[in-house]
A and B are shown apart, each in its own frame.
Chain A
Amino acid sequence: MAQTSAPTPTTAVDAAEPEAPPPPPTDAELVVARYPGATVPTWRFADGIPTVRVAPDQICDAISWLRHRPDGGRRYDMLVDVSGSHWPERAEPLEVTYILHALEDSHRIRLKVAVGGEHPAIPSVTGVWALANWPEREIFDMYGVEFSGHPDLRRIITPNDWEGHPLRKDFPLGEEPVEFQRP
């Protein structure tokens, strides 16, 4: 957002301290301003990647906006990772995280979506970015999050007849009975 003219106060009689222009809003702030309901989580992100939490029905639009940037801002060219996590004690226990990367200055941003309920569902971003196909299948497989609009939502890692979603916290770690006994 290059400003063509920068009118600074030339009549510097009473201008005690030339005020520094406010820093341009970061992409995270722009996303928060653009999407009602988007928030910056009060959670510790030790890696310093700016993080925004958006509502499930806005995720496709937010990712598409960040990718194409019709406002001429920094474009995020790579969707680096889509991953899931399960927090049983939260109101919306299933969380999906998207990490985007901008090639021009190697800046990254992270978007989070959380869902809960009996049949958790999030719109699929495969329409925006084809690479979300497999990771979304993996999250479906491991966490049971439905991705509406996904072209091929099948289990990917576990067999088709597998029951349950292994990475959910209520799924037991599993042990096999051992045939030997301690002497």
Chain B
Amino acid sequence: MVMLEETRTETGRMILNMGPQHPSTHGVLRLMLELDGENVLECVPDIGYLHTGIEKMTEARNYHQALVLTDRMDYLAPITNNLSYIMACEKLFNVEGKVPERALDTRVVMSELTRIASHLIWLGTHGLDLGAMTMFMYCFRERERVLEIMEAISGVRMMTSFMRIGGLAADLPDEFYGLVSQFVDDMPKKIDEYETMLSRNPIFVDRTKGVGVINRESALEHGFTGPCLRASGVQFDVRTNLAYCGYETYEFDVPWSREGDVYARYMVRMREMRESVRIIDQGLKRLRASRGAPIRLDDPRITFPKREKIHSSMESLIHHFKLVSEGPVPTPGEAYAAVESPRGEQATYIMSDGSNKPHRVRFRAPSFYNLQVLPQTIAGGLVADVVACIGSIDIVLGEIDR
């Protein structure tokens, strides 16, 4: 962190501190802007205000306990964080590929629901930043419905921690199917509604087209992933390129664009929401068909035995006791597992020394790398564009600082 003594440099340029308590920085991001009039000459992001030591804390917890910490990083898309952590654990415990089909389908549906919820927050706040205040109300209205579905599934609206090593915490409740199918029916119309408000709105288009352009080479050089990278003309999506949880069996397109400006990122995310609805629709059909199928691997080393069995079988009681007191123990090694979070490649990299606690857990936060590109997008622009650029990159500080 840099402290500034002078707000005006000797050339008459002004240093402006934006944040860490600024509504359009979407959290506690601080930007130091060097201005020449309205023009931004340089932008230096300063992060770390939300550091909570999650990576350190996971080293003091066993593999089941560390799961709840992952929700707290990217708090707008906790499911994808859970998923990458759980997938890394499954690789480490050698149970990848043994997870029941129904659990995988549920993971896919929940990931896509959380993607829509996260994109809705992005759209609402991005609109708010650029003066379209109604968007915020509309987007939060639909996001509420996703949170209701999450609440029906897990009992918690945001920090669900619903995934487990080898499957899920519980089976889906009966009301899930109705809620989701209604959501799938309504959502495309709602996205149309958003698009009529923004896509051809002259104020919005003027403030986003040609602003914050990042070309393909620069995006790869400085570390974009996710919708931002795809808006710069790179067709890379972890869901298709390194398919996980059976994404390869779903039919969906990966939207992309060549322009690389704020408007292109907006368009990519809008189309991505439609594709997510398509995936949810397919997943829901599979989940309807597989009702009653197992949702968790039955491996006494890793997964908890059924409640009834604990009361009737001595072995189950022992396994339960071992899992609660010691936790699952993997063989030494390391595993890197990546998922496509709403912001890009979110990955968990676990290193184990063969004890019941991870030796090291690294979370690859997409926002951390995406934010690094921000100075490139802003340089040479106007102060007002800074807000548009931050919004279009869609950062979550909880994940950047971890």
Contacts and interface: CB of A to CB of B under 8 A. Distances in A.
Interface in B325-345: 331-338, 345
Contact of B60 (A86, A108, A138, A173): A173
A86 B51 CA distance: 20
Contacts of A155: 1, 48
Contacts of B336: 47, 49, 81, 99, 110
Contacts of B347: 80-81
Interface stretch (A22-30, A58-66, A128-136): A128-136
B261 interface: no
A157 B48 contact: yes
B335 A97 contact: no
B179 interface: no
A3 interface: no
Interface of B: 1-2, 47-48, 51, 53, 55-57, 59-60, 88, 91-92, 94, 220-223, 225, 234, 236, 241-242, 331-338, 345, 347, 349, 351, 353, 359-360, 362, 364, 368-369, 372, 401-402
B359 A85 contact: yes
Interface in A143-183: 155-160, 166-167, 171, 173-174
Closest 5 CB pairs of A and B: A44-B333, A131-B223, A46-B335, A106-B241, A83-B362
A155 B221 CA distance: 22
A173 B369 contact: no
B212 to A, nearest CB: 17
Interface residues of A, number: 42
A142 B236 CA distance: 30
Contacts of A99: 336
A43 B60 contact: no
Contacts of B2: 160
A45 B220 contact: no
B362 A131 contact: no
A182 B251 CA distance: 57
A108 B402 CA distance: 25
Given A81-B364, A129-B221, A156-B48, 18 more contacts: A45-B334, A46-B92, A46-B334, A47-B334, A47-B335, A80-B338, A83-B364, A87-B353, A87-B359, A101-B236, A110-B336, A130-B221, A135-B368, A158-B51, A159-B1, A167-B55, A167-B56, A174-B53
Nearest to B363: A83
A174 B56 CA distance: 10
A92 interface: no
Interface of A: 43-47, 49, 77-81, 83-87, 97, 99, 101, 103, 106, 108, 110, 129-131, 133-135, 138, 142, 155-160, 166-167, 171, 173-174
A46 B333 CA distance: 7
A99 B401 CA distance: 21
Contacts of B223: 79, 130-131
A134 B56 contact: no
Most buried by B among A49, A81, A155, A159: A81
A115 B242 CA distance: 31
A43 B349 CA distance: 15
A157 B363 CA distance: 14
A31 B53 CA distance: 35
A13 B395 CA distance: 68
Given A85-B359, A131-B222, A131-B223, A43 B372 contact: no
B242 A130 contact: no
11 contacts: A44-B331, A46-B334, A49-B336, A78-B220, A80-B364, A85-B362, A130-B222, A134-B372, A157-B401, A166-B53, A173-B56
A131 B369 contact: yes
Contacts of A77: 220
Contacts of B1: 155, 159-160
Nearest to B223: A131
Contacts of B353: 87
Contacts of B333: 43-46
Contacts of B53: 166, 174
A154 to B, nearest CB: 8
Nearest to B51: A157
Contact of A158 (B48, B242, B332): B48
A101 B237 CA distance: 12
Contacts of A97: 349
Contacts of A138: 368
